[in-house]
Amino acid sequence: MRVSFPERIVRCLAGLFLFGLGITFFIRAELGLAPWDVFHKGLSENLDLPIGNVIIGVGVLLLLLWIPLRQKPGLGTILNAIEIGLVVNLTKPIVGHPDHIAGRLGLMIAGLLIVALGSALYIGAGLGPGPRDGLMLGLSERGISIRLARTCVEITVLIAGVALGGPVGLGTIAFTFGIGPLVQRFLPRFDKRPSVTIEARKH
């Protein structure tokens, strides 16, 4: 069933909110962050800036890399670059830090599920990929497979994040290996893009 453009915007905004909230859960669990957030956290500590501000800044800088890759941002791309960081800044003071390991594990698992659901919502809205996803798509159009491009970018960012002192742990492993299968499971339920090939969904 086709949905209206305003509804797709609402879905995109809701998905990005959930994505940002999931990142906050990972931060408060203190069990390790996703590769990109290891980099964001390390950078925020070195620059003494809120991590949400760093997420926004990195997103904007990545959009500049789209120019030589000839990628065109959509409305969802701009919203992605701005909203996720704002949500992290807003929710971080609200979400508490569990004292016991069981609570931290629960927060990490909830964060992973929320990020996956948010990803399915904003990707399914079909308003443009996020700055980080567009970078990988741009590389793939130059003869590199999406899987290889994504892996290379994620590993590079993770190494840079570790060098900056970003936190790596169980959460990093859980996100790296869990986010893809979860998004693939959620996406068909929320996919409202005009046309998406089965092969594209596999990536």
pLDDT-derived band at 1 (thresholds 50, 70, 90) equals low
CB within 8 Å of 55: residues ≥ 6 apart: 23, 37, 40, 84, 85, 88
- pLDDT at site 123: 87
User: What would the pLDDT profile of 50-74 be if each residue is shown by its tens digit?
Assistant: 999 999 999 999 999 888 878 788 9
Distances (CA, A) of 155 to 34, 64, 132, 150, 152: 11, 21, 13, 9, 5
- pLDDT at site 194: 62
Neighbours of 82 (CB within 10 A): 15
Question: Any idea what DSSP says for residue 128?
Answer: -
User: What would the pLDDT profile of 7-33 be if each residue is shown by its tens digit?
Assistant: 999 999 999 999 999 999 999 999 999
User: What would the pLDDT profile of 110-132 be if each residue is shown by its tens digit?
Assistant: 999 999 999 999 988 989 888 98
CB within 8 Å of 70: residues ≥ 6 apart: 138, 141
User: Would you kindly state where each structural domain of the chain is located, as residue ranges?
Assistant: 5-202
- pLDDT at site 27: 96
User: What would the pLDDT profile of 127-185 be if each residue is shown by its tens digit?
Assistant: 988 898 777 777 777 777 766 777 788 889 999 999 999 999 999 999 988 988 898 88
Rounded average pLDDT over 93-103: 94
- pLDDT at site 142: 77
Torsion of CA 179, 185, 190, 192, to 10 degrees: 100
Rounded to whole angstroms, the Cα distance separating 109 from 29 reads: 9
CB within 8 Å of 14: residues ≥ 6 apart: 118, 121
- pLDDT at site 152: 83
- pLDDT at site 184: 83
